[in-house]
Amino acid sequence: MKINDSFKKNKFQFLASATLVILTIGVIFYYFQENLSLLDSLYFSVITLTTVGYGDISPQTELGKAFTIVYVIVGIGILFGFINSFADRSAERRARKKSGGENDD
């Protein structure tokens, strides 16, 4: 494995972990601050970070609204970085299989 490959793998692992952390922070915050169920907290966190925003659930408290502003700015970058990293790894694997290259990991 080349150094560049190791860096890409570490970047992917970091972004995957960061995505789980940011989702967990959102779930915990919305569960306690906005009194949402765990499922609704997860649903709202995912819908918010993916920018879908159905509008069926929204923060009701001032603290919830302020948190959501920061959560969106930080979380979207992390989530989209992870999705991009995932897509890059998938494309690289397909290219290696096509060319008959070595297996990943």
pLDDT in tens, 83-99: 998 888 888 888 888 88
Task: Write the burial class of residue 68 (CB in 10 Å: 0-12 exposed, 13-18 middle, 19+ buried).
Answer: buried
Expressed in angstroms, the distance from the first to the final Cα of the chain is 8
In the structure, what pLDDT confidence band is assigned to residue 103 with cuts at 50, 70 and 90?
A: low
Q: What is the mean pLDDT of the chain?
A: 88
- Which of 73, 45, 49 is closest to 59 using CA atoms? 45
Query: Residue 28's domain spans which residues?
Result: 15-99
Q: Is 3 contained in some domain?
A: no
Q: How far apart are CA 72 and CA 31, in angstroms?
A: 17
Q: Is 10 contained in some domain?
A: no
> pLDDT at position 99, please?
82
pTM here? 0.77
In sequence order, which ranges of the chain are alpha helices (DSSP H)?
3-33, 38-49, 62-99
Counting the structural domains of the chain, the total is 1
Q: Is 6 contained in some domain?
A: no
User: How many other CB atoms are found less than 10 A from the CB of residue 41?
Assistant: 22
Q: Is 22 contained in some domain?
A: yes
Q: Is 7 contained in some domain?
A: no
Q: In the chain, pLDDT over 70 holds for what percent of residues? A: 89
Q: What's the CATH code of the domain at 83?
A: 1.10.287.70
pLDDT digits (tens, 9 = 90+) for 38-72: 999 999 999 999 999 898 999 999 999 999 999 99
More confident residue, 31 or 5: 31
- pLDDT tops 80 at residue 101: no
